Chains A and B, each alone.
Chain A
Amino acid sequence: MKPTDEGDAPEPRTDGGMFAGSDATQVTRKQRAREWFGEAVATPARIAWEDWRMKVGLSIIALFVAVGLVAWVSSSNWWLLDGVTLVEEPISNQGPTRLAPFENWDYPLGTDVQGRDLLAGIVHATPRMIQMIMAGAVFSSIVATAVGTVAGYKGGAVERTLMTLSDIAMTIPGLPLVIVLMVLIEPQNPWFIGIIITINVWAGLARTIHSQVLSLRENSYVEASRTMGMGTASIIQKDILPNLMPYVTVNFVYAARRVIYDSVALYFLGVLTYQGIENWGVMMYIAYDIGGALFNPNNVYMLLVPMIPIVLLSLGLILFSQGTDRLFNPRVRTRQAGETVSEEVDDSTTVVTQ
């Protein structure tokens, strides 16, 4: 096919300053940063926002961040916020027990076997979920990017070792390993739990990044930077990282979903112990283990209600990730931006495939 189709994705002026030399570098740095922001952040954000999946996905994610803030404000003991309680914390016997949803509007989603407000449970479990997601997603992205770029760029024994490690990490099934680690370590801290859950999630992304770096390394502008004597770190940062954004984004969402799925599962199964309603999985555990919801039709709602935020947040993340398609698929992007497509029309079948 023509070179235009080969996925030379958004390429935020990675060659900027390549010929700038020493004297011009300082002057252009600020300018370049602004230019970089325009091309790497502002324009893509606008294009992405045109996609309905992105709109819905981001709205859902924003909703959860807002709920997390509400919970944080409500439970904060900081002097300004101490008296502010938007949503009560879920505690035993705060309401009648086993109240079904939509019956009493003081407890719109009902209460559990011990009279805890289910809505309050959903709200107050959100901050810890967000912390776990952030920890897991950031951790796996950083490790993967570091391993992938260093391996791809350094080559030799370093590359072989790191890639073998990735292979092994990728082969080990995640959940059993995570469960074993949880049983042995018994962590409480949400950041730590998030990291343990994503303990081997980085491997897949590291491999992808590694192969991307290998092909990018061949590219002329990296060659040029190298000949000019730029350091490894600076080359990775300027030339390579921007091209890896699509993969990092997709992995970010994948890791986030893993954290949601696995953390809920771990609490649901009672692998992780809890002090209060600190996870939607805890609510499911109470319904399943104490309420016998699987067999008792009257208590099924206790199991279903905490599933709503799980599915909703996961849906938001998937839509967000699907919405970035348009961003990272240059062909779609060109069409959206309304540039000329005469080349494609003349030379191949590409226009057809939108």
Chain B
Amino acid sequence: MNWFIRRTGHALFTIWAVATLSFGLIRLMPGGAAQIMTNRATRNNPNVDREVIARMVREQIQIDPNAPLHVAYYQYMSGLAQGDLGHSHWAGESVNSVIAGALPWTVFLMAISTVAMFAIALSLGAIMAYREGSGFDLGMTGIAIFFNSIPYYVAAVVFIVFLGHGTSLFPPRGRYPSSVDPGFTVDFIGGAFHHAVLPSASFIVTGYGLLALAMRGNSIQVLGEDYVRVARLRGLPDRRIALRYVGRNAILPMYTSLLISIGFMFGGSIILEELFAYPGIGFYMFRAIEFRDMPLMMGTFLVITVGVVLAIFIGDATYGKLDPRIKSGDESEAY
């Protein structure tokens, strides 16, 4: 419990720090977001009073460029605390509603990618370890290293060009078929998965390699542990040794990689969703950058960060359940 409280505090503190950071970026940076917006508004409306422009900017980003620092900070943070991320002039609606429509799709994509990637990497790595030194092992190692050298967006481009437009096996853009109405129908859900294939594959193909190699290394190490030897001498069935001894103990150290790749994929969603025209949170962050829509940009940035913090928090909490050595409250956190 003590551990849980500490972890929660840690997560909240991180969120607070990121919010403060984004306030700092908007308000304090020379040519920061507030300044950029004020300048633009002044340029576009040369006749309007500075006070009015300041109020306009403040309405959009929750930060009054003319207010003293601590007041502005208070206003910004209390706005955030109430869940108000401001108004997006590009979307013509509140940042909240843009994000509400986009976030589930990004989470959907991330979940598929993460689960599939780890399933592939872990099983492949374990098989490679069992067949250490074989042709299969060497070939798979080579392929894993090569695929890992490809940036995910390069893979995405190749998939779009050759699998999407080339063969039209998989749709290269969008979240679901345009002919289908959203709802709990087979067509819609199937279509959504179909549309998620290429984006997820871009992450999986380029990301599984090092994970598989790490799993292979862990498994080889565990295979050499005394407890595996003792288990064999005790006559335990091979299957049990593979799953309960080698598998379980080799997977646990991979947890760090899982947490890191969640953050990595959330970040990568900006590029991937742009390439696949997949209106998730990254897609809107990209629009915000393109149109210099500061409230939307900072809002999506905050949401992505909070999402990663939450994912890591959940991951950490479940790790304690998986590894009994954590339960006793020692210092070894998952990452």
Given the complex, which residues of B lie within 8 Å of A304, measured CB to CB?
Answer: 158
Answer whether A176 and B305 are a contact pair too, CB < 8 Å, given A265-B271, A311-B149. yes
Contact yes or no, B289 A184, CB < 8 A = no
Beyond A176-B304, A179-B270, A185-B29, whether A349 also contacts B289 by CB under 8 A is no
Alpha-carbon distance between A318 and B144 when the two chains are bound, in angstroms: 11
Q: Which residue of chain A is the closest to B29 with respect to CB atoms?
A: A184
Q: Note all chain A residues with C-beta closer than 8 A to B69.
A: none
A254 to nearest B CB, angstroms?
10
CB distance from A164 to the nearest CB of B (A): 7
Contacts of B172 in A (CB 8 A): 294
Asked whether A314 is an interface residue with its Cβ less than 8 Å from the other chain, the reply is yes
Find out whether the CB atom of B264 lies under 8 angstroms from the CB atom of A269.
no
Q: Judging by beta carbons under 8 Å apart, are A300 and B31 in contact?
A: no
Q: A168-B14, A170-B335 are in contact. Are A271 and B289 (CB under 8 A)?
A: yes
When chains A and B are docked, how far (Å) is the Cα of A349 from the Cα of B158?
46
CB atoms of A176 and B226 under 8 A apart: no
Task: Name A184's closest neighbour in chain B (CB-CB).
Answer: B29
User: Does residue B252 face the partner (Cβ distance < 8 Å to A)?
Assistant: no
Is the CB of A216 closer than 8 A to any CB of chain B?
no
Known contacts A175-B267, A184-B32: does B151 contact A261 (CB below 8 Å)? yes
Query: How far apart are the CA atoms of A293 and B10 in the complex, in Å?
Result: 46
The interface size of chain A toward B, counting residues with CB under 8 Å, comes to 53
Does B220 sit at the interface, judged by CB under 8 A? yes
Residue A338 lies at the interface, judged by CB distance under 8 Å to chain B? no
Residue A310 is within 8 A (CB to CB) of chain B in the complex: yes
- Would A315 and B229 be within 8 Å (CB), given that A175-B270, A176-B301, A294-B160 are in contact? no
Residue B236 at the A interface, CB < 8 A? no
In this assembly, does B204 line the interface, its C-beta being within 8 Å of a C-beta of chain A?
no
Q: Are A184 and B151 in contact (CB under 8 A)?
A: no
Cβ < 8 Å to A, chain B residues 136-165: 145-146, 148-151, 153-154, 157-158, 160-161, 165
Bound complex: CA A221 to CA B307 (Å): 45
CB pair B289 A1 closer than 8 Å: no
A322 to B145, CA, bound (A): 9
Q: List 25 A-B contacts (CB under 8 A).
A: A171-B309, A172-B308, A173-B263, A173-B308, A175-B270, A175-B271, A176-B300, A176-B301, A183-B292, A184-B25, A184-B29, A268-B153, A269-B274, A270-B290, A294-B157, A294-B165, A297-B165, A300-B161, A303-B161, A304-B158, A314-B149, A315-B149, A318-B210, A322-B213, A349-B224
Given contacts A167-B10, A288-B157, A350-B224, 6 further A-B contacts (CB under 8 A): A173-B267, A177-B305, A204-B260, A268-B271, A303-B161, A314-B151
